[in-house]
Each structure stands twice: as structure tokens, then as C-alpha cells.
Amino acid sequence: MLVAVLAIIMLLTFIITRFMEEAVDDLEYRAIFNEPADVRSFTYSMLEVSLAAIHEVALIDEGKLYAPDQEWADPIGYTGIEIPNGWEVDIQIQDESGKLPLNTMEEPMLNRMLEESFDFDFGTSRELSSMLLDWIDPNDSARLNGAESEDYLRRNPPYRTANGPLQSLEELRLLEVWEEEFFDEDGRPNELFQKLDRMASVINSGTVNLNSSPQEVLELLTEDGEHIFDGLKMPWLTDIPGSADSKYSDVQMRILRITVSVWRGRVPFTVSALVEPNFETEEGASGGAPGSSSDGAPKTGATSEQEAIGYPFKILQVSEYTQGRPSSPPARYSALDIGEESDSF
Ligand SMILES: [Ca+2]
């Protein structure tokens, strides 16, 4: 009897052990395919680390962000975060507000940019600026050198003007005259388009941070071009120089693009976030961590709740870029497929 009980216990133990082994192998196998989720959360952590580093350095400088080289260009080095073995992280911080605000530039500045920076003649510059302003303005009456829906609807295929801001620079391909000057015969962006991409932004709709402007923009907005940095104590301006166009110029970053790429193998996972510093919010706001609250009621992400958290940045946009992710999850018994690599069978 005792022997029979022992035998049953041994058999059960054997079965359970086998089951455990198989389950662990199955889990390990699946972990290979679930890796992107792991990398994804790490990538978002690195985005948080970057924002925290930027916030901290900005607070030391009285809450002002002047230029990307203001010590926080390397958030990992700054915070001393350890990167797991075999992982690689790359963080790029760019100032979107260093570019001209293409959607809100007024006609005289548009004409100056087209003539001085792009060498268009007087007539072509006026055509280009009218086409753009008609595309953006809410009305449907065409300017002297412009075009509105009436004109574009005669095309094949027909379309209407956006009557709103450009969503991307590529949208210019749809505009008369722009399509010929900034794109090649096959509709691909040409060299002038690349130059425009360096100089102007559809995201920035305010003033231009001279501290991170390309040379072409500095030449347009100031009388002395890059000489405005001569003789400064720090490598960035903290006041708008007298020789600069006061309507368009600024010395602070207002829109940052932070791009974090994480490699755990050869294919990176990338998150790119567009953020606006929002350091004015009161310190020690009562909201606490998202998802929790003192009365235990679940949070819904309402604007008032977001404000209560007092997060020092306003997130305008977040995009993820992935490649090589398996298109479907592995089947339940997929451990069978790996054959020789598994020793459990
Ligand atoms: Ca219009």
C-alpha cells in the first residue's frame, strides 16, 4: 500500500516536473517574440528620462531652455542611467522652434525668404507666396497670383485647397508652382525642398529660436547672421539681439522633438515625441501618479486630471516606428516547431 502511494507520488512528481519544463520552454520561446513589448516599455522609460533631464537642467537655468547644447543633450550620461548589457540606446533632441513657421509667416517674410534664401525672381516669389497663402487661408477667393479650390477642382483627379495649415511639407506637392519648383518630374522632393525642410517647419507656428536656427534662417532674421553669437559668455543668446527681427525672433526653445531608439539586436524600436515645455505649472500639484487618486476613484485622463499631475511638458504628438515585428503571435503549441533547439521533447 505504502509502495503504491509512493509510486503514485513519484509519478505525479514526474508529470508535474515535465509539465513545468515544457511550460518554461514555452514561455522562453514566446519571450523571443514578445521582446518588442519589453523594448517598447524601455524606450518609453528613456523618453521619460530625457524629459526629466531636460526639466532639471532647465530649472537650474531659471526654467529656460535656450539651446540643445545646454548640458542635457546627453540625458543618459547626465542621469547616469545604466543600459542593460547588449542593448543600445540613441537619444536625439531637436528644436522644432529653430525653424521658420511656414504656416503662419506673413507675406512680406515669405517673399523675402523665397527671394533671398532661394533666389527666386520677384514674380515667382509672389506666385509661390500667393499659392501658399490661398491654400492655407479659410476663404475661397483666389489672390491675383494664387489659386483656390475652383482651380484645383479642374485637375484630374480633382481636389480642394486645404483652407487650413499644412500638415506636412510634402503637402506642397499639391500646390501650383510649388509642385514645379520644389519637386522633380516624378514628384520627388528636390534640392530646394531639402533646403526648405532645413529652414521651415509646419509644426512651429510661433517665433524662431535663433540659438538653434540654421545659418540660412539667421541670415534672414538678423543683420549680422551668425556673428550674433560673437563675444557671448555662453554659447547661446539669452536675449533677443537688437539686430534681429523682433517679430519672428526668440531665444528659447518652445517645441522639442525627442527621438529615442533602442536596439536589442539589429532592428531599432523608435519613439519620437513632440513636446512643449510647460514649466509654469505649480510645483507639488496634488494629482499624484496617473491612474491613482486619494479617493480611490479611477482616473479617466480628463484635461483637469492631466493639469493636476503638473507634468512639466505638454505632449503634442508621439509616433512609434517598428520594423521586423512578427505579424502574428506564435501559436499556442509553437514550441513544437523549434525541434532541435528545444531539449524538452
Ligand atoms: Ca483658401
What are the C-alpha distances in Å from 112 to residues 108, 117, 200, 220? 6, 8, 13, 8
Q: What type of residue is 35? A: E
Q: pLDDT-based confidence at 8, cuts 50/70/90?
A: confident
What CA–CA distance (Å, rounded) separates 100 from 266? 36
- pLDDT for 288 equals 47
What CA–CA distance (Å, rounded) separates 245 from 217? 11
Domain boundaries along the sequence of the chain: 37-98+208-345, 101-203
Q: How far is the CA of 130 from the centre of ligand 1 (A)?
A: 10
Contact between 98 and 249 (Cβ < 8 Å): no
pLDDT at residue 161 greater than cutoff 90: yes
Bridge partners (DSSP) of residue 318 are 273
Q: How far is the CA of 301 from the centre of ligand 1 (A)?
A: 36
Q: Which three cell numbers stand for residue 62?
A: 531659471
Q: How far is the CA of 167 from the centre of ligand 1 (A)?
A: 15
Q: pLDDT-based confidence at 327, cuts 50/70/90?
A: very low
Residues with CB under 5 A from ligand 1 (ion): 134, 137, 161, 163
How many CB atoms within 10 Å of residue 343?
7
DSSP run (H or E) holding 317: strand 313-321
**Which comes out higher in pLDDT, residue 333 or 290?**
290
What percent of the chain shows pLDDT beyond 70? Answer: 82
Q: How far is the CA of 133 from the centre of ligand 1 (A)?
A: 7
- pLDDT for 344 equals 37
Q: How far is the CA of 18 from the centre of ligand 1 (A)?
A: 72
What number of CA atoms fall less than 13 Å from residue 305's CA on the CB side? Answer: 12
Fold of 101-203: Ribonucleotide Reductase Protein R1; domain 1 (1.10.40)
Q: Look up residue 61 and give its DSSP letter.
A: T
Instruction: Calculate mean pLDDT across residues 92-114.
Output: 96
Q: How far is the CA of 123 from the centre of ligand 1 (A)?
A: 20
What are the C-alpha distances in Å from 247 to residues 240, 255, 262? 11, 18, 40
Q: How far is the CA of 118 from the centre of ligand 1 (A)?
A: 24
- pLDDT for 36 equals 59
pTM: predicted TM-score of the whole model, two decimal places: 0.74
